[in-house]
A and B are shown apart, each in its own frame.
Chain A
């Protein structure tokens, strides 16, 4: 039988496809595809758990610049956040903004001067309905089912920065260059990132896993940052949010931020 070149190529092409497909299908014994689940893996015994981690920010407890700096640098040092020295490449997980920048929709021209000028700590709001998670094409940023934390998987991030466009709070930073030369004091127990991935506050999942509260909460003055389970009716944070007046950033956007800002200060110290 004689076949012409075109038929030969068609047969060769289809056989190769079938061959590759069969090899892939037969690789089901591969550990890589299987993944691991309980009981082979467990959460640590001391891990802090919650249904819905949230935070209340009480700026009245931050009396000086130093107080704010302590909280910010606790986070940035623990997590090897670099300092590039310029605004363009800047990476920040938690920082301060004035009222008009933190709450642009709450304009009040006759507002008390003190509040207009005072700094507000801002960070990722770990929204209940996060826009960043909605847009991520690889689920590199995702909402943890167990506790509602909006987490980053730096391994999977392709650096498309769609999440940065989607976040209404400007909470995310991108590694525009290699961060390692710009990390002042390396924390050897936490990885750095590499160029080309997005990063942000993760509510210190690695600390929660070993029973510690987030670094910023620990370093802030007592009662300045209150961290807890909003779904637990008996938690301090739930009681505050239910009884005191709090506002959230850009609440009208439907993102459901989990960071509440206490208005009027807290006697609770």
Chain B
């Protein structure tokens, strides 16, 4: 069976494989550590251990925090509700990324950005919502 235009096809195939496999061979040998978000902000450390609870349990927050924030956004801006009642703990929280979430998690670079950078996700919340000022020394 004759392969017509075989030369062009093979060259094209090689170029395609070079592009498609690029992410894999480019990262060979590079250390890509698992993200380890840090919870050791002064605000959190000041709280007694039992009270160190986020709005909802960690597992829920890890997967659904963006959906939760979207819901908060609509609730605050559009419906005028600002107090959130936690499903897990019944505690009241102020529905604000800037003023509530970041109150405890003021270490955006070592918390939020840890996983976001690993996943190459760039949420544009920070275009408007003012990120907490961080000490770059630690």
Contact = CB atoms under 8 A, between A and B. Distances in A.
* Direct chain A–B contact by Cβ atoms under 8 Å: yes
Interface of A: 30-32, 34-44, 47, 80, 142, 144, 146-147, 151, 153-155, 186, 188-194, 205, 209-210
Interface residues of B, number: 29
Interface in B65-121: 67-68, 70-75, 77-85, 87, 92, 94-95, 98-99
Given A188-B130, A191-B128, A209 B77 contact: no
Contacts of B78: 142, 144, 151, 153
A189 B80 contact: no
B77 A151 contact: yes
Contacts of B70: 32
Given A36-B75, A155-B73, A41 B95 contact: yes
Contacts of B40: none
Contact of B81 (A43, A192, A193, A194): A43
Contacts of A154: 128
Contacts of B128: 154, 191-194
A35 B83 contact: no
Nearest to A196: B127
B134 interface: no
Nearest to B94: A44
Interface string B42-77: 000000000000000000000010011011111101
B95 to A, nearest CB: 7
B130 A191 contact: yes
A209 B98 contact: no
The secondary structure that dominates the B interface is: helix
Interface of B: 64, 67-68, 70-75, 77-85, 87, 92, 94-95, 98-99, 124, 127-130
A210 B71 CA distance: 20
Contact of B80 (A37, A43, A210): A43
14 contacts: A32-B67, A34-B71, A35-B75, A36-B72, A36-B84, A38-B81, A41-B95, A42-B85, A42-B92, A43-B80, A43-B81, A189-B99, A192-B130, A193-B128
A191 to B, nearest CB: 4
B130 A186 contact: yes
Given A32-B70, A155-B77, A43 B83 contact: yes
Contacts of A209: 80, 82
The list of the 9 closest CB pairs from A to B, nearest first, reads A41-B81, A194-B127, A32-B67, A31-B67, A42-B83, A36-B71, A191-B128, A191-B129, A153-B77
B30 to A, nearest CB: 33
Given A41-B75, A41-B79, A189-B98, 15 more contacts: A32-B71, A34-B71, A35-B71, A36-B72, A40-B87, A41-B83, A41-B85, A44-B94, A151-B78, A155-B73, A186-B130, A190-B98, A191-B130, A194-B128, A205-B80
Contacts of A210: 82
B85 A43 contact: no
Contacts of A192: 128, 130
B109 to A, nearest CB: 17
B90 to A, nearest CB: 11
A102 to B, nearest CB: 30
A183 to B, nearest CB: 10
B113 to A, nearest CB: 19
Nearest to A34: B71
Interface centre among B124, B129, B130 (most CB of A within 10 A): B130
B80 A39 contact: no
Contacts of B130: 80, 186, 188, 191-192
Given A32-B67, A186-B130, A40 B85 contact: yes
Given A40-B84, A44-B82, A31 B71 contact: yes
B50 to A, nearest CB: 23
